[in-house]
Amino acid sequence: MSGLPILDEAAISVNNISGYDILSGISTWKLRQVAFFADGTAYIFKYSSQEEFYRMYEETFNNIVNSFV
């Protein structure tokens, strides 16, 4: 999705809506993209950060993704 190497990927489901979670990055930068598809519309959430700060706000991003309805 971004041209960066994929570090991890998984099919997910939040509130019975199927989605896809991709973590990509390089040694100094990470990008996580979560996409949901519902009623013909794609909803894409993105979180990017320098590697050293990534974990600082990862839980906040997870809360946002898990609140998707």
Contact 34, 21 (CB under 8 A): yes
Residue-wise pLDDT tens for the chain (69 aa)? 468 899 999 999 999 999 999 999 999 999 999 999 988 999 999 999 999 999 999 999 999 999 987
Name the class of domain 6-59.
mainly beta
Residue 33, helix vs strand vs coil: strand
Whole-prediction pTM: 0.86
For residue 61, the Cα-to-chain-centroid distance in whole angstroms is: 8
Number of helices and strands in the chain (H, E): 1, 4
Within 10 angstroms of residue 57's Cβ, the number of other Cβ atoms is 12
